[in-house]
Amino acid sequence: MKAVITVVGKDTVGILAKVSAVCSEYEANVVEVSQSVLQDMFAMIMLVELRKKNFGELSATLEKLGDENNLKIHSMHEDIFNSMHKI
Amino acid sequence: MLETRDILETINMIDNENLDVRTITMGISLLDCMDENIDKACQKVYDKVCLSAKNLVKTGEDIEEEYGIPIINKRISVTPIGMVSAPCKNKDITKFAKALDKAADTLGVNFIGGYSALVQKGFASGDKELIRSIPEALATTERVCSSVNIGSTKAGINMDAVKLMGQVVKDTAELTKDRECIGAAKLVVFCNAPEDNPFMAGAFHGVGEADKVINVGVSGPGVVRAALTKCGSHNISELADVIKKTAFKITRMGQLVAQQASKRLDVPFGIVDLSLAPTPAVGDSVAYILEEMGLEGCGCHGTTAALAMLNDAVKKGGVMASSRVGGLSGAFIPVSEDAGMIAAAENKYLDITKLECMTAVCSVGLDMIIIPGDTEADVISAVIADEAAIGMVNSKTTAVRLIPAVGKKAGETLNFGGLLGYGPVMELRKGSPSKFIGRGGQIPAPLQSLKN
């Protein structure tokens, strides 16, 4: 499955490294990364490919990582965005 | 690649604007559970419900986790028990309610709907017994919901049933007076009841439906309001367009969840119900959408027009987003379940007369309205008759869910907690309709042409 990981928060050193480390831990291959600054906020979006069974744990670990670093990290199935924003 | 803006918009909807799938409801036919022996019939009902829906809650939770969308309720609707219980003569029909309640408990669903009867044109064998048993059934169970359809555009209004239901609503509240009269919050009186409605308390599984079916109810008043907040000084046609686009997105999410649930449970997909279903959470209110359009308070003049536009735009946006649409589809206006409605009722912007007027253009009817405990049964019947007449003439679903607050007067409050919320006791109009209600009979079906 493909999942979209979004990271939003104040820009700090090593965000990308920390998130990528978690991805590699759960064998999630990063397919695409985009990064932007919106209203002084750092926003990174990653598209990753991983095994379905790893998704629950990846999602929980990333959320915890977000809490520890004052970031909002969401991981969601790619299909949600495709169905909501594409006809 | 997906647009960054779109991704952030979706996440913001879920995080800050209370976007969720309100319910996945599995409809189960119980027509093959009939038996002259009531205990055998109840056992068949319990077994069939438990077998059919054994993976419902787990599947809902899996989809929730995998897709990151909150799915608030997993529920079940069944064939109206009035039909299933018909062969069981002179027996305690509440046994069916207990069997359903036990099944709901075993499965972990929060409501099971279908303790119902369809009597718009007359009472079939077993219907009257079922209706009379509703107060006890709702008082002795926790998760069972009941509904009675007393009218339709094609049949007219069964005024004998209307008279009966006034007393049933009152008795149901009385029997649960130690629990904030909660029984009455689980009882809906319908005109033109839809057979594929996934929302409680009015859900039942119509006789024309498949053996099992998955219906999904979406939500999202918070999302619509947030979209309107960004509109500034747009004119009304532009607002309608924004609502349509938002409803489209909300419904697409519901459609995705419905298809996944249907596939995983191996049960046919029925419909997506395009409803704006509020909750008492601030920011999840239909009343606030109306106020966002420029009304000082929900209930002031202009509210009916604003609601009509909202209801229509939600349907127009949603219809294209789903392959099959049904249920109640539109904007709900329950008083106690909507923070903005509660505030409007407390501030006297909203009264029963304006609410009745609003129901002519909303998707359901007089919903979750708390009335004084000493209201006479005939007055409740008359409220039901008025509301059913609006539905009958306008070929739309209308419903009445009134909660007589036993021992309380206008101005006091009743608090159910949870999704059912709380609200002030609202005053009804003066005068007695007793003679009119006492006549019984049938209001004939209305003419469908010469519509002025």
Q: What is the CATH number of the domain that holds A45?
A: 3.30.70.260
pLDDT digits (tens, 9 = 90+) for B354-373: 999 999 999 889 999 999 99
Give chain B positions within 8 Å (CB) of A44: none
* CATH code of the domain in which B323 resides: 3.20.70.20
The domain total for chain B is 2
Q: Are residues B393 and B289 in the same domain?
A: yes
Between strands B71-78 and B21-28, the pairing is: parallel
pLDDT of residue B1: 63
CA dihedral B401, B336, B394, B249 (to 10 degrees): -130
The amino acid present at A49, given as its one-letter code, is: E
Calculate mean pLDDT across residues B1-25: 84
Interface with B, mutate which of A74, A80, A82, A86 (most B CBs under 10 A): A80
Q: Are residues B300 and B175 in the same domain?
A: no
Q: Are residues B174 and B312 in the same domain?
A: no
Widest distance between CA atoms in chain A: 38
Q: Is B422 helix (H, G, I), strand (E, B) or coil?
A: strand
pLDDT digits (tens, 9 = 90+) for B167-218: 999 999 999 999 999 999 999 999 999 999 999 999 999 999 999 999 999 8
- Please indicate, yes or no, if residue B240 is contained in any of the structural domains: yes
Q: Are residues B152 and B273 in the same domain?
A: no
Q: What is the nearest CA distance from B45 to chain A, expressed in angstroms?
A: 35
How far apart CA B302 and CA B285 sit, in angstroms, is 18
Interface of B with A (CB under 8 A): 1-4, 6-11, 15, 65-69, 249, 252-253, 255-256
Q: What is the nearest CA distance from A2 to chain B, expressed in angstroms?
A: 11
The domain total for chain A is 1
The chain B residue lying nearest A55, using CA atoms, is B66
How far apart CA B207 and CA B342 sit, in angstroms, is 36
Q: Are residues B235 and B172 in the same domain?
A: no
Closest CA to B106 of B164, B48, B25: B48
Calculate mean pLDDT across residues B208-229: 92
Determine the structural domain holding residue B318 and report its residue range: 215-432
Determine the structural domain holding residue A11 and report its residue range: 2-85
DSSP string of B59-96? HHHHHHHHH---EEEEEEEES-HHHHTTTSTTS-THHH
Q: Are residues B240 and B181 in the same domain?
A: no
pTM, full prediction: 0.91
Contacts of B33 (CB under 8 A, 6+ apart): B41, B44, B45, B48, B84
As a whole number, the mean pLDDT across chain B is 93
pLDDT of residue A8: 86
pLDDT of residue A38: 67
Question: Taking a C-beta distance cutoff of 8 angstroms, is the pair B52, B28 a contact?
Answer: yes
Between strands A41-49 and B144-152, the pairing is: unpaired
Q: What is the nearest CA distance from A57 to chain B, expressed in angstroms?
A: 10
Give chain A positions within 8 Å (CB) of B66: 1, 52, 55-56, 77
**Model confidence band, residue B40 (pLDDT cutoffs 50, 70, 90):** very high
- Please indicate, yes or no, if residue B414 is contained in any of the structural domains: yes
Calculate mean pLDDT across residues B215-233: 90
Instruction: Tell whether the model's pLDDT for residue B340 goes beyond 90.
Output: yes
The chain B residue lying nearest A37, using CA atoms, is B4
pLDDT digits (tens, 9 = 90+) for A33-50: 888 876 667 888 899 999
Cβ contact, residue pair B7, A47, below 8 Å? no
The amino acid present at B53, given as its one-letter code, is: A
Between strands B71-78 and B112-118, the pairing is: parallel
**Model confidence band, residue B65 (pLDDT cutoffs 50, 70, 90):** confident
